[in-house]
Amino acid sequence: MHATAINVSVVMPAYNAAGTIGAALRSVLAQSERRLEVVVVDDASTDDTAAIAARLATEDPRVVVLRRTMNGGPAAARNIALAKARGQWIAPLDADDTFAPDRLERLLALGEERQADIVADNLLLCADQGSGRGEPMIRPDHIAEGRWMSAAEFVNGNVGSRYKPRVSYGFLKPLIRRAFLQRHNLRYDETNRFGEDFLLSLSCLLSGCRWWLTPQTTYRYTVRAGTLTDVQSAADLARIRRREDDLLRSHWMVMRDTELAAALRRHKAVIEHFYYYRAFTDALKAGTFAPAINLLLESPRGFRHIMTESALQAPRVALKALRGGFRQARPAEPRSAVAAVSDGRY
């Protein structure tokens, strides 16, 4: 297959996804858009993930399977797939999600019609890899029709309040023109195992991409309990906070766009809140009390974040203590920062 014949490269990082990767790949191979390839990067799985993907590759030459010998996280795996990809468009797909049969055809048509650099649809949240009816992640009344999305709207959508629900644009799995990524030398941030989708999307918007958002729900997103908070670390949150600090201080677009700057400050405050609480509870769990005390005393703002989240989590801690005894109770996980940033499912 010649490079000019490939419209879409589906990039799929996979780690211990033997139970789901077959359905994910078959949803790609059954697309009405046939001029595609799917680049699977097995991230040093310890189950049959790579073997299942390899078997499908023998049946359909559009499947390319690459294997890592050491686990590097989803961002590193996606970057390996990007380097191998030959399509005009890049389409991320997680190994436990699926595409509706005409997803790529419809989004490609929209991307070309609008001359967009990115085109994204709504997610259909499903309990079991696309089975059942599911429900849209973004309320239909919020995306009544297709429209352009700005950097300020993207960031604001990931910050909720009592007056406005969080939209979580960072979860979206958009199609991106490969030429745009190459022109601006954009890749996933491999230093984070959390928030990598959000950071890449934000980088694209800050590089001037034209992003078209459609209300279609053709990406079937599998909701799995217990995975979203497991991967966010204090170090990941700190890196996101530093990145946004740098943007606020020095990026020309942020400095000229007051709405975008205000959105970034609000988002950074959310990340900072979860950073302090995560770092504090991690120190307590590790039995290193000096760092925990230092975080409390570091600044009035940090103290306030820790105390506020601790008060919110107190009922959960008390319930754990009642169920398992005080000795088994642990500092609770914070209300997840994932929704303010992005997916983080392995």
CA–CA separation, 301 and 69 (whole Å): 43
Identify whether the C-beta of residue 28 lies closer than 8 Å to the C-beta of residue 99. Answer: yes
Could you tell me where the DSSP H helices lie in the chain? 21-29, 49-59, 74-84, 103-114, 151-157, 178-183, 196-206, 234-250, 252-256, 258-285, 289-298, 300-324, 338-341
> What would the pLDDT profile of 235-273 be if each residue is shown by its tens digit?
889 999 999 999 999 999 999 999 999 999 999 999 998
Average predicted confidence (pLDDT) for the chain: 88
Residues in the chain, total: 346
Give the count of beta carbons closer than 10 Å to the beta carbon of residue 252.
8
Q: Evaluate if residue 115 carries a pLDDT over 50.
A: yes
Dihedral class, residue 148 (left if φ above 0, else alpha if ψ from -120 to 50, else beta): beta
For 294-321, write each residue's pLDDT tens digit: 888 888 888 888 888 888 877 776 666 5
Does the pLDDT of residue 19 top 50, yes or no? Answer: yes
Q: What is the pLDDT of residue 38?
A: 98
Find the mean pLDDT for residues 183-206: 94
pLDDT at 342: 61
Whether the predicted pLDDT of 66 surpasses 60: yes
At residue 130, the pLDDT reads 52
Instruction: Return the structure tokens found at 98.
Output: 């699926």
Cα gap 223→79, rounded to integer Å? 24
pLDDT at 330: 38
Are 160 and 166 in contact by the 8 Å Cβ rule? The answer is yes
pTM of the model: 0.87
Max CA pair span of the chain: 64
pLDDT score of 227 more than 60: no
Q: Which amino acid is at 327?
A: R
Distance in angstroms (rounded) separating the CA atoms of residues 272 and 268: 6
